[in-house]
Amino acid sequence: MEQAVPRPLVTSLPNVLTYARILAVPALVGCLTLLTGDLARWSALVLFVAAALTDWLDGYLARVWEQQSALGRMLDPIADKLIVGAALIMLVHDDTIDGWSIWAAVVILCREILVSGLREFLAELNVKVHVTQLAKWKTTVQMVALAVLLAGPAADKLVPGITSTGLALLWIAALLTLWTGYDYLRAGVHHAMES
């Protein structure tokens, strides 16, 4: 009886799901620029929700199947930041996020860049900052807010005022973003002062 040859981690299902999440970024932008009306909104929502679910699923499968890899650890946060950044930019572009709420979007984008830079800096010092439970809640609220806002005017036809709820959730995500971003910054400054 032949033994199964293990699949290279580069083509493992968890990594393939991460690649798909990266490919969802131009598809999301395409939905909101090439399609119109409710079709654009519902298509963007389906893509975004699928991407958010693969974010959870790829990590779960990598742990359960013991297929964690350096490539996956590198690409996973990049994929997350790309999809969130693209969604925010497109929502500002089409005025779903406007006025003072643009500040919530800016806070979220700045935190994503800050954390990426801090993680890179801390990795050079062989320091790992673990994701806190509050950061997980921040991500959940942020993803729900973005999903609601992507549905936007199309969803308002079904549930009047849902876009306002999405904007409120975006502000909650921004406040949680400030809090969790401060935790990363504090850890980074602490280790920078010691090195």
Instruction: Map out the domains of the chain with their CATH numbers.
Output: 9-194 (1.20.120.1760)
Question: How high is the pLDDT of residue 137?
Answer: 94
pLDDT class for 27, splitting at 50, 70, 90?
Answer: very high
Q: What is the mean pLDDT of the chain?
A: 88
* Residue 103 confidence (pLDDT) above 60: yes
Question: How high is the pLDDT of residue 63?
Answer: 84
Nearest to 81 by CA among 48, 101, 109, 54: 109
Of residues 121 and 83, the one with the higher pLDDT is 83
Question: How high is the pLDDT of residue 73?
Answer: 81
Q: 118-158, pLDDT tens digit by residue? A: 777 777 777 777 778 888 899 999 999 999 999 999 999 99
Question: How far apart, in Å, are the Cα atoms of 2 and each of 11, 42, 45, 65, 66?
Answer: 21, 47, 45, 21, 22
In this structure, which amino acid lies at residue 167? L
* Residue 35 confidence (pLDDT) above 90: yes
- % of the chain exceeding 70 in pLDDT: 95
